[in-house]
Structure 1
Amino acid sequence: MTLSNATIAEINALNYANEIFYLFWAFGLIGLGTIGHSLSIYVFTRPILRSNPCACYFLSATIMGLFVAYVNTPLRLLQYIYNYDVFKYSTASCKILTWILLCARALASWFIVLASIDRLGPSVIMLIFGSLTIRHVQHSVRRVNASHITTKSESASAAPIQEKLQRQKTADRQLIRMMIAQCAYFAVLTTPISGSYIYISLTINTVLDDLQFAKVNLFTNIAGLLSTTGACTSFFVFTLSSKLFRHELKHLFTWRWH
């Protein structure tokens, strides 16, 4: 079937838009991922968050996001823009590289899932029993109350426990807020690629003309890059959603300034 000049021009425009979008977006993800994940690693290794299991999951997701920014994105950039396909060397290398890239991108999301699971059980139980312990100590102090000095001393001994649990509750609330924001962010960015996979599976036996193929290719590449964006830009979600994250981040710039 002969294509009209208008159709050929539209196909060329779609292919050119695909290349330009992929080129600038990919380099943007590499730059933002480098800066953002480096700062996130600094924050999640701070003393106040280092021992928190939820923060450890966030740290693991950040490391995987850095891998996505430095490995997944450049390889796809070489493949789609510079026509240098490392996946074509052999069937084994293609399968291994594809498995590694897909796992890296998926792990960045699954660590957030593990953080969500971690926030449904142990921390809540720990806070409940910790609060009950403090209540029991306070009740014992009021019941004994042999003298004013004794009461004051025992109340003071319970104060550090209260202060520690309060700090932990504050950190947990901030981490839960970060987790919810990150889950919503991942959900929004991965929805287009899911729709793309569904469309491809439904039209697998349909023969597409050149114009339709160019449109599908553009949408698939945009959806694929959007799904990668979540793993590369999580730092900005953490910064916007958590006061604790911003507070810990300020220490780095304050220390550097002094």
Structure 2
Amino acid sequence: MSSVDIRINQLSTATTTVVLVLLCFAFVFGLVGLILNIIVFTRPNLRNEPCSFYFLSSTYFNLFFVTIIIPVRILSNSFNIDLAYYYIGICKIEYFAFYSVRTISCWLIAIACIDRYFHSSKSVHIRQISSLKTAKRTTFVIILFIPICYSHMIVYMNIKYTPNQSGNLAPSCNSDNEIHRLFLVIWYMTLYSFCPSFLMTFFGLLTLRNIREHCQTITRITKNNPINRRTDRQVLHMLTAQVFVIIIATLPQSINQLYITFTANLVKDRLRLAEENLSSKTLGGLTFFTHSSTFYLFTISGTIFRKELCKFFRQYFCFQRNRIHVVGDKSRHIPVSLRNL
């Protein structure tokens, strides 16, 4: 066996191992974290916040991603088991659904950034846009709009045979039109990475400017409700952490996809194909943490989130404490939930 063959085998083994570890880690920690996300964002102190509604909606789509998409990708990348490579109907529906779900999740976070900008404005009329009613309507529009943007995939996606990292022809689910393949990569990169990242960054900076310039106004508006003021600040911290991870995790993979598309017609040796396969699947695996790490980001960055999480655990998993109340000359033990302490 030549040194090139040995190197190719090493790269192939590394690809399988790295992807399997990344995806299993994302699945386990994502499943636990997203379930806890749902519990926290449906608690009384957060459920009426429009930004929390966007977080909660995004969590539901992330949960679909973690429980459906990640197992399918594990079977496909690590064990070469993927029905989409053999049944054209599954090919079309699977990739259409996967692209749509990932993009909807990111756009809901981007809209949450816009909501924080509205909420921090000193204009009463602009602040009124930030409401739970608006959040529900906007979420509904996003859920309808994004699948429409990807509807062309149902027409063009097909089963193709292309060289794999070993140089052998292998089935894959991809567009059978060269122009559409290029369009799909650019379209996906724009919808999934560039546009949400730009909106998050742009409106995040505007929100910070509003807070700095109109701090006294915001304080006067919320001075009678310190709980809401603290909640607003902590939600902004949580949002900032989520934005940072989305930008860092999605941009490299999008740029790599663009490179792969532009060099698709070049003649590549087996070693280069193996190297590109490793980079593509590794960067693709890292994007999965965009959808599975939200709970841990919220726990680290959001005090209000941590408090609500602790309240939940105390309420349902800890024993009730007894508080002694003295009534006249008698005392009695009254069980009081930790939630009310």
- TM bin (shorter chain): 0.7 to 0.9
Match of 1:53 in 2: 50
Other structure's SS at 1:81 match: helix
Structure 2 distance, partners of 1:22, 1:129, is 44
The unaligned stretches of length 5 or more in structure 2 are 129-221, 320-341
Change (3 A) 1:230 1:68: same
Q: CA deviation at 1:207?
A: 1.2
Instruction: Identify the range of structure 1 (7-16 vs 190-199) with the bigger mean alpha-carbon deviation.
Output: 190-199
Spell out, residue by residue over 1:72-117, the C-alpha distance to the aligned partner (whole angstroms, 9 max, x if none).
1111111121221121343232111101011111122111001011
Q: Any residues of structure 2 matched to 1:158-177 within 5 Å, and which?
A: 162-164=223-225, 166-177=226-237
The secondary structure found in structure 2 opposite 1:78 is helix
d(CA) in 1 for partners of 2:71, 2:111: 28
Structure with greater helix percent: 1
Higher relative contact order (CA 8 A, sep 6+): 1
Structure 2 distance, partners of 1:128, 1:203, is 47
User: How many angstroms does 1:57 deviate by?
Assistant: 0.3
Q: What's the offset of the Cα at 1:127?
A: 10
Normalising by the residue count of structure 1, what TM-score does the alignment of the two structures yield?
0.82
Structure 1: gaps of 5 or more residues: 131-160
Partners of 2:271 and 2:61 lie apart in 1 by 37
Q: Aligned pair 1:72/2:69, yes or no?
A: yes
Q: Which of residues 21, 24, 29 is equivalent to 1:27?
A: 24
**TM superposition shift of 1:5:** 1.3
8 Å CA contact retained: 1:79, 1:85: yes
Contact kept, 8 Å, 1:105 with 1:228, in 2: the verdict is: no
Q: How much does 1:129 deviate?
A: 8.2
Match of 2:102 among 94, 105, 108: 105
Taking structure 2 as the reference length, the TM-score comes to 0.62
1:221 CA drift (Å)? 0.3
The equivalent of 2:270 in structure 1 is 210
1:229-256: per-residue Cα shift (whole Å, max 9, x none)? Answer: 1101111111111111111111122221
Identity %: 33
Q: Distance in 1 between matches of 2:127 and 2:95?
A: 46
Rounded to whole Å, the distance in 2 between the matches of 1:126 and 1:31 is: 44
Separation (CA, whole Å) in 1 of partners of 2:126 and 2:7: 63
Q: How many residues end up aligned between the 2 structures?
A: 224
Q: SS where residue 121 of structure 1 aligns?
A: helix
User: Which structure carries more strand by proportion?
Assistant: 2
Query: In the alignment, is the contact (CA less than 8 A) between 1:61 and 1:108 conserved in 2?
Result: yes
| 2:277 counterpart SS class | helix
Encode CA deviations 1:199-250: one digit per residue, 9 max, x unaligned.
1122121111110000000000011111111101111111111111111111
From 63, 79, 82, the equivalent of 2:79 is 82
**Structure 1 counterpart of 2:249:** 189
Query: Could you tell me which residue of structure 1 aligns to residue 140 of structure 2?
Result: none
Give yes or no for contact 2:118–2:127 (8 Å, CA) kept in 1. Answer: no
Q: What displacement does 1:197 show?
A: 1.3
In the alignment, which of 291, 300, 309 is matched to residue 231 of structure 1? 291
Cα distance in 1 for residues equivalent to 2:271 and 2:258: 20
